[in-house]
Amino acid sequence: MANKKKPTGLGKGIEALFQDNTVDTSKEDVVDIKVSEIKPNPYQPRHRFDQKALEDLALSIKNSGVFQPIIVRQPDPAVNSYELLTGERRLRASKIAQQKMIPAIIRDVNEEQMMEIAVLENLQREDLTTLEEAEAYNMLMTRLDLTQAQVASRLGKSRPYIANYLRILGLPSEVKEMLEDNKLSMGQARTLLSVNNKQELIKLAKKSVAESMTVRQLEQAAAKINGKNGAKKKRVQRKSPFVRASEGQLQEKFGTPVSITNPSRKKGKGKIEIAYASTEDLNRILEMLDVNLD
């Protein structure tokens, strides 16, 4: 059962998470609700929590209580059951501290807003790993049926920024584990995606971790691997500054390696090759090209 307290101005900052800003927080109350009645947010993008930090927070809560209320929603007002919107760490720490009650704001939001809040709160706090962030963008696209451009617009990011993170999901599982463990950076992951051979990619990722390679060193190693694999296929063609600049612009737009060649050496003729790392990556590129294969 929820026990009402005095009105609060808390939650003002969280309003930035709503696109239409239709929620009136001025009339919200802070209430005490049972910890046992709160279910975790099913759309929480963060998978890992620092156990030592949680234990420290639990000790603070045990001694002084929870200063900032969590935010929940109540799907059915007639039932004392709540779903967490924000405040995962405070809720987890309260459970560790064996607290029976926790201060909360009950907010009327729909499923779509619930998902956006879960993602945006963690993005604003910079709590997500590179892989968690990529999975969060993918979740928004698949669950809400959004395009990359729509996700970028809602989150205040550029489309190439979202595209680059989504490409990370095409990495082999072994490499994604290294990324999740913070053994590889986003820059290193993007560089590894340029390696065409999967086994060579995994091998280079392990070498990068073992030798603490910089992104520049990784780029040189990746280029060497791709050079060896493609040496027997074709002779390297000298490219003009204009072609190299055009390749760079296309790579920035699509977030993947792009090659422009002129095999016939006739003025105005040639071809553009766009690399992709997975089926999902291919669909991402086709979407950017506005190609519908249905």
3-state secondary structure of 43: coil
Rounded to whole angstroms, the Cα distance separating 130 from 127 reads: 10
Rounded to 5°, the CA angle 236-250-294 comes to 110
The CB-side HSE value for 10 (13 A sphere, CA atoms) comes to 19
Please choose, from the candidates 270, 237, 274, 240, the residue with its C-alpha nearest in 3D space to the C-alpha of residue 259.
Answer: 274
Rounded to whole angstroms, the Cα distance separating 183 from 210 reads: 9
Backbone angles phi, psi at 159, to 5 degrees: -65, -45
No. of helices (H) and no. of strands (E), the chain: 12, 8
On whether the CB atoms of residues 226 and 195 are closer than 8 A, the answer is yes
Q: Which two tokens stand for residue 160?
A: 């190439």
The CB-side HSE value for 200 (13 A sphere, CA atoms) comes to 16
Catalytic residue among 15, 28, 83, 88: 88
Residue with tokens 């073992």: 210
Answer yes or no: 177 catalytic.
no
Catalytic center residues: 88
